[in-house]
Structures are given as structure tokens and as C-alpha cells.
Amino acid sequence: MRKVLRFFPCLAVILTAHAVEPGTQELAVNPDDIASELIARDQLAGQWSFPLFEEWTIARKKIQAETGLSWTASYYAVGLGSFLGNGVPVGASGDFTFQGIWKPGYRWVDNPTELRFRIRYRHEIGPTSAAELGPEIGALWGVVDGFSNSGLETPDFFLRHQFKDPNIELRYGQLSIDSQFGGNQLASSKQFFLNQGFASDPAVAFPRFGAGFTALLSLDNGFSAGFGASTVQGTQTGDQVSLDFGSGAFFTALQLAYDYQDHDDLARRFQWLVWQSDAVEDAGRPSGYGFSLTYEQAFSEAGEKGFARFSWSDGGAASLDYLLTAGYARPCGEKDLAGIAAGIGRGSDSEKEIQAVFEAFYRWHARDNLQITPDVQLLVGEGFTSGPGIRVVAGVRFGITF
């Protein structure tokens, strides 16, 4: 397989399958996937009362009808502070994202070739970004996923083909592999938990994005099988690693899963992921491998859901040797959402320090397109930079979608 990947240095292959009956809640779709973002935007119950946003919506629908181009844009900002240590270090960042799907042949075929794209600009607000707060206080993994100072990036720019019989999806181009592997329905730092242990998986050495090719096979019996690989272009911490597609550094993964429904037609999912990451010598990044086991389920049709996951790694490519996490979220009122989660992990460096985290959030929909989310995290364990082995990280997330 390594020889094949070196022969196609700009390609990755992903094979993932799941089957969920119509009308049930599908757990396998990552909430940060481009299609998921567009669906969430279209499901907004109302519109802004401001003329500018109403005109934007009308123009978007007209362009989609005429050209097959559907898009959404968003801006999220996070501000966090750490308490109970020496001083009160703070960090804040913003993320502007423009993403969409273009179907140039939608008038002639049922499943046209699509161009999917995501362009984002991440910046710090003040002297320190939100992503830098975790390392500053000595957290073993990020107190927030993303929200760095990485500037302008194009993590997704790929073509997608869909075939009905058998049900196969093909993708190739620039892509984020973690949008299809190792995720769950609460894995989004923009929508749910901020901490990287819940929004991503720091015990898996996911590159932030890479060049690749993808293939998706869906089975009717609920079983899933997936294989994937991606060139390593950036690490989870936000550092650029390698833009040389011919460097031979790849992240590869195999994923198996089973989707089914209980007697109330509520979705359940078991997922197993194994992965391997090549070393990147120029960046001092070692090779590594590992696995994760995930279980998630919907508790009600209203959107109540939860997950549990255990991840293990070896070799130092990931920041943790192991991580055990669990999270739960439920609707509050008509549109708001509250969530709680807990996790414990051990660092992969020579110190082998252990830390635990507890997080709670309340996502308030001030308007259909506007979210304001207070968030608090309790971190306990070894290795903090100063003071006692306990920290409280509190802050707020602001998000607007249009």
C-alpha cells in the first residue's frame, strides 16, 4: 500500500459505509462536514429581520437555482481565561469560513459531479490566540479545538462523484480527513464542546488537512468499512508541517462501524478506527499508530444524544498515549442546547503526565442565525505550568451564520 501511495502522492483513499433507515437520526455524519453545515443552515426556522441578511438569503437561493451553487458563510469568535493559577492568562480567536457545494451538471443528471470547497481565515484577537492558552497553562491537549492564528487556509477543495448501484461515493482533491474518520455527532468546537478532547481526538495524529482521494461505499445491513490516507500538511496544534506533496509522509486509517436502531427507531453506532502516521523529519514529528473505539446514540427524536470513546496511541505522533471521554447534550426549550462531558488522558512524552477535564456549555440561540455559548472547563492533574494541579477555564463563544 505504501508503494501505491507514493506513486500517487497527492491522493488518499477513504472507504466508509453506514446504513440508517429513513426518518431516523443519522449519527455517522460529522457536524462540521460541508454538507452538514449547509443542511443546518437550510433548517433554520426563520430569517433575520435585518434587510441586509434577508436580501443575502434571496440572492443565495436565486444563484443556487440558476447555477447549482449552494454556499454558507460563518464567523465564530471565542474568548477564554484561565483561573486558579498564577495570574489570569487569556486567549481569543476568530474564524471566518466560506464553504459550499457546486453541482454544474445538476440540470442533466440526478447525481452530478460536485465541487466542494471550504476556505477559512483564522486569526487571534489580542496578543494570544485561544489555541495558545492550553500550552500556556500546561494542558496536555487543547482547551479549544481550532481557533488558532493560522491565517488563510483552504482545508477542503475536492470533487465528489456519487454512484447509486452499488452506493459508492468518490472524492479527490484537498480534504480534511477527520471530517470522515473518528468523529461523532458532538464533535464540533463551533457547535458543541470547545475542548479538543471532545471536539476532536488528540490521541489520534490527524493532520488538519491534506491532499487526497476518497471513496465511500454504503451497505444496506448497517455495517461500515473504511480506509483512508492523507498527506500530512498540518498538525492539530496549528503548525504547518509539509506542503511538499511528494515528501512521502502520509496519515492512513481503517474504520469499521455498525449503525442500527433500537425498538424506538433511535440511532445507535459502534465505531472502530485504527491509524498510522509517517514521521516528518523536517518538522521533528515522529511516526506513530493507534486505535479508537467509539459508541454513540440518540436518546430522543428531539436531538438528545451522547457518546463515549476510548483512544490509544504509540510512537509519539499524537499528543496523548490514551484518552477516555464521554459527552451528553440535550435540547433546552425550543432552540437552545446544553451539554456536559468528561475525559481523562495521559501525555505521550517522556513525563507520562495524566490530566482530566470536565466541561459544560449552554448554547443560546439569540436569533436563528446567532448563537452565544457560555462555556466552563475544569482541568485537574499533573504538569500545569505553575500553582496547584487544578485550573478553571471559562469563556464565551459567539457565532453568526449567513
- For residue 159, the number of C-alpha atoms closer than 13 Å in the C-beta half-sphere is 7
User: Do residues 251 and 275 lie in contact, with contact meaning Cβ atoms separated by under 8 Å?
Assistant: yes
User: Do residues 189 and 199 lie in contact, with contact meaning Cβ atoms separated by under 8 Å?
Assistant: yes
Q: Which residues pair with 114 in a beta bridge?
A: 160
> Does residue 207 have a pLDDT over 50?
yes
For residue range 209-236, what is the model confidence (pLDDT) as tens digits?
A: 888 887 777 788 888 888 888 887 654 4
Local confidence band at 48 (pLDDT 50, 70, 90 cut-offs): low
245 phi/psi in degrees, rounded to 5 = -65, -20
Q: Where are the beta strands (DSSP E) in 43-202?
A: 69-83, 90-102, 114-124, 151-163, 168-175
Out of 106-110, 194-198, 297-301, 317-321, the most confident range is 194-198
- Its sign, for the CA torsion 364, 370, 376, 381, is positive
Which pLDDT score is estimated for 369?
81
User: Do residues 251 and 207 lie in contact, with contact meaning Cβ atoms separated by under 8 Å?
Assistant: yes
* Continuous segment of H or E residues that includes residue 86: none
- How many other C-beta atoms are found inside a 10 Å radius of the C-beta of residue 107? 9
Local confidence band at 29 (pLDDT 50, 70, 90 cut-offs): low
Q: Which domains does the chain have, with CATH numbers?
A: 2-401 (2.40.160.180)
Q: Would residue 199 be called left, alpha or beta, if left means φ above 0 and alpha means ψ between -120 and 50 degrees? A: alpha
Which pLDDT score is estimated for 374?
98
Closest to 147 measured CA to CA, from 89, 200, 220:
200
Range of weakest confidence among 128-132, 280-284, 369-373: 280-284
Q: Which residues pair with 116 in a beta bridge?
A: 101, 158
Which pLDDT score is estimated for 162?
81
* Mean pLDDT across 144-157: 93
32 phi/psi in degrees, rounded to 5 = -95, 5
- What is the share, in percent, of the chain residues with pLDDT greater than 90? 47
Which pLDDT score is estimated for 50?
58
* Mean pLDDT across 58-70: 83
Alpha-helix runs per DSSP H in 210-330: none
Which pLDDT score is estimated for 62?
84
User: Do residues 288 and 323 lie in contact, with contact meaning Cβ atoms separated by under 8 Å?
Assistant: no
* Mean pLDDT score of the chain: 83
For residue range 97-114, what is the model confidence (pLDDT) as tens digits?
A: 999 999 887 777 776 789
Which pLDDT score is estimated for 23?
31
Closest to 357 measured CA to CA, from 344, 374, 347:
344
> Does residue 356 have a pLDDT over 60?
yes
Does 186 or 265 have the greater pLDDT score? 186
Closest to 12 measured CA to CA, from 185, 170, 223:
170
Find all residues with CB under 8 Å of 123, minimum gap 6, and list them. 93, 94, 129, 149, 151
Local confidence band at 340 (pLDDT 50, 70, 90 cut-offs): very high
Range of weakest confidence among 219-223, 244-248, 303-307: 244-248
C-alpha grid cell for residue 138? 500546561
* Continuous segment of H or E residues that includes residue 296: strand 288-298
What's the DSSP call for residue 247? S
Range of weakest confidence among 31-35, 219-223, 319-323: 31-35
Range of weakest confidence among 40-49, 52-61, 282-291: 40-49
In angstroms, rounded to a whole number, what is the distance separating the alpha carbons of residues 224 and 20? 11
* Continuous segment of H or E residues that includes residue 79: strand 69-83
Which pLDDT score is estimated for 151?
92
Find all residues with CB under 8 Å of 102, minimum gap 6, and list them. 67, 68, 69, 70, 114, 115, 116, 117
* Continuous segment of H or E residues that includes residue 326: strand 320-332
> Does residue 5 have a pLDDT over 60?
no
C-alpha grid cell for residue 299? 436518546
Three-class DSSP category at 156: strand
- What is the share, in percent, of the chain residues with pLDDT greater than 70? 85
User: Do residues 38 and 70 lie in contact, with contact meaning Cβ atoms separated by under 8 Å?
Assistant: yes
In Å, how far from its chain's centre is CA 341? 16
User: Do residues 321 and 347 lie in contact, with contact meaning Cβ atoms separated by under 8 Å?
Assistant: yes
